């Protein structure tokens, strides 16, 4: 049995440095305490191309060096936009008591009983070497552009999945040979498994994903260590196990599930893993359909429940109410939060043009044209219009207040009297049909 610490998606960069470094340094401490015998970082160690003088580079190198002083390390190439090709090369040069192997091409690498890495020349060992602790089959991020150049852009996405499935089956003889030697086989990759769920709760159900659980289980490795999806999840079949470690920290609002790294125990028959949580930051969303309700925010923050948390308050208001949101009051209630992010959405006033309204000669015709455009009944409006023509405003107002006015038309006795705000005649449709009952 071999004990593996599996970290993934560290996303070191200036923006995430505090979160990434707090969580990764904690994880390295924990992996050492739990006596991990080998460490795997399954891609996206960095968030984007970093300058060598960026503080994030030194911070990551410091933690990596601590890890390499404890056990051998395997680093896999992740998404190219996060880790431009060549990023990892420099980390492979970082000395330690144990070596750091960088897997930036498809291939196998064996961990020797002496704690050294022994890589295959081609994509696979022709013969599995002797005196080894574990056999790793590495499938770094596939360059879809390269596949598109060979196969054509239209079929590239699905072709990637088919070729990977073939490749994974190609590893089977070496995995069986290792098993016969009582050596565990471990797959390491970075990509999307069909049907997995993202950290935002979205199932990935497209046909352009790299893997299916079937293709991964098809490799007959006892453990498959994955990166790319930031939410931890796992699948098991006949003792074989596939798992995403998830990201080391919580980098965005709305990310569900616990963050951490995986401690694997893998032997030649089965693989098991346990999530070791990291002190990832707490993110809380307070969302409102309309204006943010201060009482609700106060209730959420009661008893220090949001102290130290990263809180995002979201709301949406019509354009005319935008100034009624008291941002200062929200910030005062949440003064003990680590961060308060205010995201108000302004719903614009939508005005429909009433076609032909300009051509209508009489006001009554304009009202009819407007009623057609806004799909409302013209009759109550026309009654009001007639009322306006025949009576002084004071009389109409007195009639409404005193309910003593003669009805404008006998057949409208039961209809509500509609008071028309000025903008309604101008064609505003941002509010539902509204009337003032008399």
Q: Are 94 and 103 in contact (CB under 8 A)?
A: no
**Residue number, 9 or 137, with CB nearest to Mn ion:** 9
**Residue number, 9 or 104, with CB nearest to Mn ion:** 9
Nearest approach in angstroms of CB 348 to Mn ion is 35
Nearest approach in angstroms of CB 226 to Mn ion is 11
Backbone region of residue 300 per phi and psi (left: phi > 0; alpha: psi in -120 to 50; beta: other values): alpha
Mark 70-102 as b/e (b = at least 16 C-beta within 10 Å).
bbbbbbbbbbeebbeeebbeebeebebebbbbb
**Residue number, 230 or 366, with CB nearest to Mn ion:** 230
Mark 263-278 as b/e (b = at least 16 C-beta within 10 Å).
bbebbbebbbbebbeb
Q: Are 43 and 10 in contact (CB under 8 A)?
A: no
The strand pair at 260-266 and 38-41 is best described as unpaired
**Residue number, 210 or 382, with CB nearest to Mn ion:** 210
**Residue number, 41 or 221, with CB nearest to Mn ion:** 41
**Residue number, 21 or 44, with CB nearest to Mn ion:** 44
Nearest approach in angstroms of CB 93 to Mn ion is 24
Tracing tokens 């705000």 back to the chain, one arrives at 421
Cβ neighbours of 300 (radius 10 Å): 16
Nearest approach in angstroms of CB 83 to Mn ion is 9
The strand pair at 233-237 and 185-190 is best described as unpaired
Nearest approach in angstroms of CB 309 to Mn ion is 23
Count of alpha carbons within 13 Å of 113, Cβ hemisphere only?
A: 5
Nearest approach in angstroms of CB 234 to Mn ion is 18
| Residues at the interface with Mn ion (CB under 5 A) | 9, 44
3-state secondary structure of 124: coil
**Residue number, 179 or 228, with CB nearest to Mn ion:** 228
Q: Alpha carbon 168 to chain centroid distance?
A: 28
Query: Which is nearest to 110 in space by CA: 177, 28, 29?
Result: 177
Nearest approach in angstroms of CB 247 to Mn ion is 6
The two most distant CA atoms of the chain are separated, in Å, by 105
């Amino acid at each position: 049995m071999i004990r593996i610490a599996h970290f993934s998606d560290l996303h070191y960069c200036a923006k995430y440095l505090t979160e990434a470094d707090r969580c990764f340094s904690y994880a390295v401490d924990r992996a050492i305490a739990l006596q991990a015998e080998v460490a795997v970082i399954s891609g996206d160690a960095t968030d984007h191309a970093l300058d060598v003088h960026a503080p994030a580079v030194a911070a990551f190198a410091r933690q990596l060096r601590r890890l390499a002083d404890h056990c051998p390390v395997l680093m896999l190439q992740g998404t190219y936009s996060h880790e431009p090709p060549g990023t990892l090369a420099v980390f492979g040069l970082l000395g330690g008591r144990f070596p750091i192997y960088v897997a930036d091409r498809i291939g196998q690498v064996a961990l020797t009983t002496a704690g050294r890495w022994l890589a295959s020349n081609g994509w696979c060992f022709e013969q599995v070497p002797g005196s080894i602790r574990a056999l790793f089959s590495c499938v770094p991020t596939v360059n879809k552009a390269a596949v598109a150049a060979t196969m054509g852009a239209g079929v590239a996405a699905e072709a990637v999945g088919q070729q990977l499935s073939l490749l994974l089956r190609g590893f089977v003889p070496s995995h069986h040979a290792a098993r016969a030697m009582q050596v565990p086989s471990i797959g390491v990759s970075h990509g999307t498994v069909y049907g997995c769920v993202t950290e935002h709760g979205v199932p990935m159900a497209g046909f352009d994903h790299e893997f299916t659980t079937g293709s991964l289980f098809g490799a007959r490795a006892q453990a498959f260590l994955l990166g790319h999806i930031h939410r931890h999840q796992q699948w098991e079949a006949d003792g074989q196990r596939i798992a995403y470690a998830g990201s080391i920290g919580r980098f965005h609002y709305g990310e569900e599930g616990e963050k951490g790294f995986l401690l694997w125990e893998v032997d030649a028959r089965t693989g098991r893993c346990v999530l070791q949580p990291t002190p990832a930051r707490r993110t809380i969303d307070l969302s409102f359909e309309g204006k943010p309700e201060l009482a609700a925010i106060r209730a959420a923050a009661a008893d220090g429940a949001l102290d130290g948390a990263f809180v995002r308050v979201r709301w949406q208001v019509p354009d005319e109410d935008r100034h009624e949101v008291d941002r200062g009051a929200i910030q005062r209630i949440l003064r003990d939060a680590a961060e308060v992010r205010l995201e108000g959405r302004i719903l614009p006033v939508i005005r429909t043009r009433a076609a032909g309204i300009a051509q209508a000669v009489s006001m009554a015709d304009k009202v009819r044209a407007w009623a057609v455009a806004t799909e409302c009944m013209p009759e109550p409006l026309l009654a009001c219009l007639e009322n306006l023509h025949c009576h002084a405003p004071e009389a109409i107002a007195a009639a409404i207040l005193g309910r003593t006015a003669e009805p404008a038309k006998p057949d409208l006795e039961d209809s509500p009297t509609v008071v028309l705000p000025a903008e309604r005649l101008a064609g505003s449709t941002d509010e539902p049909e509204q009337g003032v009952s008399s």
